[in-house]
Structure 1
């Protein structure tokens, strides 16, 4: 069950389907980025705040194209799924290709995502930000 919910969330992220993404989150769920460039919040908590954050950032800097080399790891905790993937897209302002390695740790409870800790490689995002400055 947890794996299927995570797959749905990844699909919604790739398609920039904000409503589906938000609906998959628990009302008090959160997104967290332990490693991030300046200007990216450490955490966005609550379904409404997540919806607002995604709406404000959709197509602003990066337009996602696809996730490649997706590997899902189910754990001994049935609520936890770890996903490794490469995110590919385009820097909106320049048209330059964008690639970023990601490891994300999801906790799913009662069919909703309670937490997502997104361990992105911040360097490609920092390069994209510098290219439009």
Structure 2
């Protein structure tokens, strides 16, 4: 991705990398000082990850826990800030440990600078995963 890649195209590429389970390439889309926030994180879960290394550590084992199959219902909304998009989508697949279906609705606010993600606020519903008895990383709770 180049510095001229639109935030919407960069985001679409990030989803392809997640479906391909290519976490190193997904992390490569981030600025060194990128920030990932989870405003609805339940107690004991990370609310804010600061820096590319922290984001990489958080996402490293994601494919071992959640096997994503698709992101249906993807809607990317442009904002008055050309570097920021608001994304609505579902992530569907299965939980690796149990084989149970995974179906999560997301809203994300993503800002891109110089072709890299600088901030990503992920408004996911932790109740869906808590009710399944599995945390976001797939570990039994």
Q: Same fold (TM over 0.5)?
A: yes
Runs of 4+ in 1 over 3 A off after TM superposition: 130-133
Q: Could you report, residue by residue, the CA deviation over 1:71-120 in whole angstroms, capped at 9, with x for unpaired residues?
A: 01011110101110011011112111111110000000110000000000
What secondary structure sits across from 1:129 in the alignment? coil
Give the counterpart of 2:56 among 51, 74, 78: 51
> Which structure has more helix as a fraction of its residues?
1
Give the counterpart of 2:132 among 106, 128, 131: 128
Alignment check: 8 A CA contact 1:107 1:116 kept? yes
Q: Which moved more, 1:11-20 or 1:104-113?
A: 11-20
Q: Which residue of 2 aligns with 1:81?
A: 85
Alignment check: 8 A CA contact 1:63 1:90 kept? yes
Q: What TM-score do the two structures reach when normalised by structure 1?
A: 0.89
Q: 1:16 to 1:43 in 2, by over 3 A?
A: farther
What secondary structure sits across from 1:69 in the alignment? coil
> Which structure has more strand as a fraction of its residues?
1
Q: What TM-score do the two structures reach when normalised by structure 2?
A: 0.85
Matches of 1:16 and 1:39 in 2, distance apart?
Answer: 26
Matches of 2:127 and 2:75 in 1, distance apart?
Answer: 22
Structure 2 unpaired stretches of 5+: 1-5
Matched, 1:65 2:69: yes
Give the counterpart of 2:114 among 104, 110, 113: 110
Alignment check: 8 A CA contact 1:37 1:125 kept? no
Structure 1 unpaired stretches of 5+: none
Matches of 2:95 and 2:48 in 1, distance apart?
Answer: 23
Matched, 1:34 2:39: yes
